[in-house]
């Protein structure tokens, strides 16, 4: 990670170009890796990331089983309609028949039951008539079965030793079911990253407090805490730092929880009351970069505080939320041992857009599907980065590259659907 302690403000040759979103993301991710491994019981691992590959301990099914109710037979004995067989036993799920099917034999069988030795076909019960449901009953073939029909061979689904899950996989309910079926009860996982969340600003009061003159409720920390949890990490509340030099450092150093990442909001510019950049330039900390060619979110800080990676998000609620989607989510994924690349789709614009400037734009928008099932996206009329109501009502961001030409209604644009949970 670059650790320059100088800002990228203007030099003799004029201001440095802003860092692109892609370059900023690469530099943020470069310094991140998962740390510890822990063993967890499978019922508790949804959303967690596997630290090692998993091989099947059992085959599925463990033996050839019937896929239907009927009779386990030899196809050779059922070549003509009206052929008759003798019932010699019964195989039910969990209660296999341990004999062998010989010439003219039929074994009553049910779904999931082991196919007895000697049988090669399941004659469906609908395709046969039985004189009774008892031993020695005569079974008449009414429909000639196809040889091998309705038998699931041993290992059809999974074979012992097969690699069923790769390290880095995010566990879902269905993957938990797979690992369980293959004989596992617990798995090794990367420890969930602990993400410290710090708000900054003299105007902020905690939720539940009635704001006094000039005060507002700090909503960013609540948003980020929920966001971090939805990404599979553990949020750690670092409180609110007042707009004073050294406050950010004091709050981060005040926690006893070991942190994998610190996220701050606000104070990210270089105004009189913004202290994150200066605090990071202080001894023992590192400042990477702090200006990105994006809107919303130009002041975005990357650095380390006492060796802990730090992401300094802007204060405006929508800016911090958009930056969380673009930078924080992939950062948490990397710290968790997985990867996150946002899904992007192409959609037709419902209304035109003016030419874009040098910053990559993330426009709050509504994504819908027309009667032909084609995606159509409508940018919100107001794009003010302070307006949480507009962000809350959006379900997608239109991503416009720097210097994008004017777009007409009907033109395709790239759209990033927002995770409905964040
Ligand atoms: P700043 O980047 O500190 O100048 O903040 C930019 C804007 O975001 C200001 O209007 C702040 O009041 C607002 N803001 C900063 N932090 C928060 C927060 N935690 N919750 C809600 N709004 C915030
Ligand atoms: Mg502030």
Reported as a single tens digit per residue, the pLDDT across 347-388 is: 999 999 999 999 999 999 999 999 999 999 999 999 999 999
H or E segment and range at residue 280: helix 276-281
- How many whole angstroms from 388 Cα to the centroid of ligand 1? 12
DSSP H helices, 15-80, are 21-30
Statement: residue 73 has pLDDT above 90: yes
Parallel, antiparallel, or unpaired for β 216-217 and 163-165?
A: unpaired
Pair of tokens at residue 373: 């099932």
pTM, two decimal places: 0.90
CB 236 within 8 A of CB 197: yes
CA atoms within 13 A on the CB side of 83: 20
User: How high is the pLDDT of residue 6?
Assistant: 37
CA–CA distances in Å: residue 114 to residues 3, 96, 110, 135: 65, 5, 9, 18
Does 276 contact ligand 1 (Cβ within 6 A)? no
Radius of gyration of the chain (CA): 31
Which residues does 98 contact at the CB level (< 8 Å), separation at least 6? 116
Share the mean pLDDT of the chain.
Answer: 94
Mean pLDDT of 52-58: 98
Closest-lying ligand 1 atom to the alpha carbon of residue 243 = 3
Which residues does 198 contact at the CB level (< 8 Å), separation at least 6? 221, 238, 239, 240, 241, 248, 251, 252, 262, 263, 264, 265
For residue 288, name the pLDDT band (cuts at 50, 70, 90). Answer: confident
**CB neighbour burial string for 305-338, b if at least 16 within 10 angstroms, e if fewer:** beebbbbbbbbbbbbbbbbbbbbbbbbbbbbbbb
Substitution candidate for ligand 1 out of 316, 319, 388, 391 with most atoms within 8 A of CB: 316
Which of 237, 260, 238 has its CA nearest to residue 249?
238
3-state SS, residue 369: strand
Pair of tokens at residue 84: 């008759």
Does 220 contact ligand 1 (Cβ within 6 A)? yes
For residue 15, name the pLDDT band (cuts at 50, 70, 90). Answer: low
Least confident span in 80-89, 172-181, 268-277, 355-364: 268-277
CA distance 376 to 415: 10
Does 204 contact ligand 1 (Cβ within 6 A)? yes
Does 216 contact ligand 1 (Cβ within 6 A)? yes
Closest-lying ligand 1 atom to the alpha carbon of residue 200 = 16
Does 268 contact ligand 1 (Cβ within 6 A)? yes
3-state SS, residue 249: helix
CA–CA distances in Å: residue 103 to residues 71, 80, 91, 129, 349: 14, 15, 18, 19, 71
């Amino acid at each position: 990670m670059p650790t320059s302690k100088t800002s990228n403000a203007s030099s003799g040759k004029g201001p440095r170009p802003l860092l692109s979103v892609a370059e900023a993301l690469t530099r943020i991710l470069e310094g991140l890796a998962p740390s510890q491994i822990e063993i967890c019981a499978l019922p508790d691992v949804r959303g967690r990331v596997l630290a090692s590959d998993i091989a099947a301990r059992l085959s599925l099914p463990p033996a050839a089983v019937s896929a239907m109710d009927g009779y386990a037979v030899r196809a050779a004995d059922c070549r003509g309609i009206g052929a008759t067989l003798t019932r010699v036993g019964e195989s039910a799920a969990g209660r296999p028949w341990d004999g062998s099917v010989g010439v003219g034999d039929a074994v009553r069988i049910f779904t999931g039951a082991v196919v007895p030795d000697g049988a090669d076909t399941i004659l469906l019960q609908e395709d046969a008539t039985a004189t009774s449901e008892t031993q020695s009953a005569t079974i008449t073939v009414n429909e000639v079965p196809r040889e091998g029909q309705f038998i699931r061979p041993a290992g059809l689904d999974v074979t012992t030793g097969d690699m069923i899950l790769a390290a880095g996989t995010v566990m879902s309910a269905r993957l938990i079911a797979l690992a369980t079926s293959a004989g596992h009860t617990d798995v090794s996982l990367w420890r969930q990253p602990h993400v410290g969340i710090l708000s900054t600003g003299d105007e902020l009061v905690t939720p539940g407090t009635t704001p006094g003159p000039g005060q507002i409720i700090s909503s960013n920390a609540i948003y980020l805490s929920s966001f971090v949890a939805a990404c599979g990490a553990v949020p750690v509340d670092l409180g609110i730092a007042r707009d004073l030099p050294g406050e950010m450092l004091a709050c981060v150093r005040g926690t006893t929880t070991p942190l994998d990442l610190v996220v701050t909001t606000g104070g990210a510019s270089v105004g009189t009351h913004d202290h994150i950049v200066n605090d990071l330039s202080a001894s023992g900390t590192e400042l990477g970069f702090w200006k990105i060619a994006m809107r919303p979110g130009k002041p975005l800080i990357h650095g380390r505080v006492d060796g802990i990676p730090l992401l300094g998000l802007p204060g405006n609620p929508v800016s911090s939320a958009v930056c969380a989607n673009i930078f924080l989510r992939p950062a948490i994924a990397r710290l968790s041992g997985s990867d996150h690349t946002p899904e992007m789709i192409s959609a037709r614009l419902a209304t035109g857009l003016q030419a874009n400037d040098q910053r990559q734009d993330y426009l709050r928008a509504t994504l819908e599907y027309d009667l032909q099932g084609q995606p159509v996206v409508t940018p919100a009329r107001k794009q003010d980065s302070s307006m949480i109501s507009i962000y809350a009502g959006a379900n997608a961001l239109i991503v416009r590259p720097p210097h994008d030409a004017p777009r007409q209604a009907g033109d395709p644009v790239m759209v990033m659907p927002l995770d409905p949970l964040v």
